Each structure stands twice: as C-alpha cells, then as structure tokens.
Amino acid sequence: MSTETGTWRLLHRAKGPRPAPAGARPLRDRLALTAGLVAPFLAALALVPFRTDLSHTNAALILVVVVVAVAALGSRAAGLLAALSSAAWFDFFLTRPYETFDITASADIETAVLLLIVGLIVSQLAARTRRLEVITVTDADHLSRIHRTADLAQSAGSADTVVDHVRRELTDLLQLRACRFEYGTLMGRPPRLQQDGSVTAGRRPWDVDAADWPAGEIELRTYGNGRYLGRFMLTPGPGPVPPLQARLVAVTLADQTGAALDTAGPAEEG
C-alpha cells in the first residue's frame, strides 16, 4: 500500500481522541469556565459609563467578542457559560431599567436574544476549532509513523527490516507488552484487529469502548495484493483499547508491511 493510500484511509475513517474522564478537566478549561462567568460581567461593567452613548448593538458585539475569546481559550462549556453570562449582564447593566433583569423595550429584548444566540453559535465554532487543532497534532504524530515506514520500505534491503520496524512501531503506538510476527499458515482463532479498526473475538465484535482488549494475543494480519503473508501477534498492555485513530494507523502499518513482503517475494517470506 502506498503512503498516499494509507494517509487517505486514516484521514477519512479516524475519529478524534476519547474525551478525558470526568473530574480530570485540564487547568486551562477550569480557568476558562471561570472566565466565562466573570469576563462578561467585567466587560459589561466597563461599558456602564458609555451606555447612554453606545448603541445596544455595538455593546452586544463587544460582548460577543468576549464570548469568542473565552471559547477559544477553553472548552465548549466555557463558551456556553460566557454566552449566557453576556446576555444576563447585557440585560442588567446596559438596558433600561438599569441594574435590574427587566427589559421594557422590544428592541432591547431582540438584541439580548440575538446576543445569546450569536454567542452560543460562535462558542461552538471556537471550541470546535480548538478540538480540531488537538486532532491535527495527534494526526501529525500518526502520519509521521506512516511516512517513516514508507521510506524504510522503499530503502530497506530486506523485508525483515520493515517487519522489525513495524513491530516496534506497533508496540509503542498501541502500548503493547510484546509484539511478534508470524509468517505463513494461520493457526488457531485468536481475537483479531480488523481492517476497519474494529476488534473481533471469535465471530462476535468486541466492544472496544466499554472494555479492555480481549484476553490473550490479538492478531493483525498482513496482505500483499490480496494474498495473506503473515500476521503480527499483539500482546496488549494494561488499560483500555487505544482509540480508533491509533488502531487505523496500526492497520495501515501492517498493510505497508504486507506490501514490502509481497515485493520481496517468497525468498524473504520464509
């Protein structure tokens, strides 16, 4: 399999990393939640001296900027909190009657509602942009593995060199205790890491989101031009099954190994 083909499959079938467990929220997100509550209050308070001269539309736009900043800094939850806080303090400080949560003018009600809606939308967009940045960093690491293997497959004098390289890559990528490669005939029916990144045990799919790896070794087969050439036998380490993105990279590395073995010919396979 070429590097371009492996990259295409990874980018089109991988998903983002698993969310952090509850209670493990990063410090950055906790600070953003605080900013989501406090920053709109401070911004609205700062606009109080100008509220008679500043149009309500311009004031709302300033608060939208605050929402965007908070959402870009932290999580989606922080952006949502900032949007709600902005709408509340806009009502309290910047619409008549001042220092109450009552609005008498219909135009001010419309502005407050629009502020809330726009704030919610932009917070979603900003948070999504941040998430995509995280996924891009992860993809860069995964893609570097694919490119390293492709370069080695083209330059290595022996397919065994590629096999050993991929065995080490799989051990690191999937956090394995051990990884070995078997040439030739299939023996037994161990659990299998499939081409789509799923895991099967026997004839049944394995729930990778709710369980650890199946017990025992996991096979990852390699093919060259549709012909079975061998399999990596994976001994899982402790902890849950790695994310789908990592599993798809593992499948791509196995495919590159199969391509190297197929090019080398029968003499290399024994």
* pLDDT tens-digit readout, 6-21: 444 444 444 433 434 4
| Least-confidence region, from 117-131, 147-161, 180-194, 201-215 | 117-131
The pLDDT score that the predictor gives to residue 22 is 38
Segment 38-62 mean pLDDT: 90
Convert the chain into a string of H (helix), E (strand) and C (coil): CCHHHHHHHHHHHCCCCCCCCCCCCCHHHHHHHHHHHHHHHHHHHHHHHHCCCCCHHHHHHHHHHHHHHHHHHCCHHHHHHHHHHHHHHHHHHHCCCCCCCCCCCHHHHHHHHHHHHHHHHHHHHHHHHHHHHHHHHHHHHHHHHHHHHHHHHHHCCCHHHHHHHHHHHHHHHCCEEEEEEEECCCCCCCCEECCCCCEEECCEECCCCCCECCCCCEEEEEEECCEEEEEEEEEECCCECCCHHHHHHHHHHHHHHHHHHHHHCHHHHC
Where residue 265 falls among pLDDT bands split at 50, 70, 90?
low
Q: Is the pLDDT of residue 143 over 90?
A: no
The pLDDT score that the predictor gives to residue 26 is 61
Segment 57-81 mean pLDDT: 82
Could you give the angle at which helices 76-94 and 56-73 cross, rounded to 10 degrees? 160
Highest mean pLDDT pick, 109-118, 120-129, 138-147, 229-238: 229-238
The pLDDT score that the predictor gives to residue 134 is 60
Looking up tokens 């096999």, which residue turns up?
A: 163
Highest mean pLDDT pick, 127-131, 135-139, 240-244: 240-244
Q: Is the pLDDT of residue 34 over 70?
A: yes
The pLDDT score that the predictor gives to residue 161 is 93
Total-model pTM = 0.53
Backbone angles phi, psi at 182, to 5 degrees: -110, 125
| Least-confidence region, from 32-41, 58-67, 122-131, 252-261 | 122-131
| Least-confidence region, from 77-86, 191-200, 205-214 | 205-214
Quote the CA–CA distance of 73 and 36 in Å, as a whole number: 10
Segment 134-139 mean pLDDT: 63
Where residue 179 falls among pLDDT bands split at 50, 70, 90?
very high
The pLDDT score that the predictor gives to residue 48 is 94
The pLDDT score that the predictor gives to residue 203 is 80
Looking up tokens 């990778």, which residue turns up?
A: 208
Is pLDDT larger for residue 4 or for residue 51? 51
The pLDDT score that the predictor gives to residue 121 is 76
Quote the CA–CA distance of 180 and 165 in Å, as a whole number: 11
pLDDT digits (tens, 9 = 90+) for 216-242: 999 999 998 888 999 999 999 988 888
Segment 26-40 mean pLDDT: 85
Non-local (6+) Cβ contacts of 241 within 8 A are 199, 206, 208, 211, 212, 213, 247
Chain mean position to CA 262: 34
Q: Is the pLDDT of residue 214 over 60?
A: yes
The pLDDT score that the predictor gives to residue 269 is 42
How is residue 191 written in tokens? 């659990």
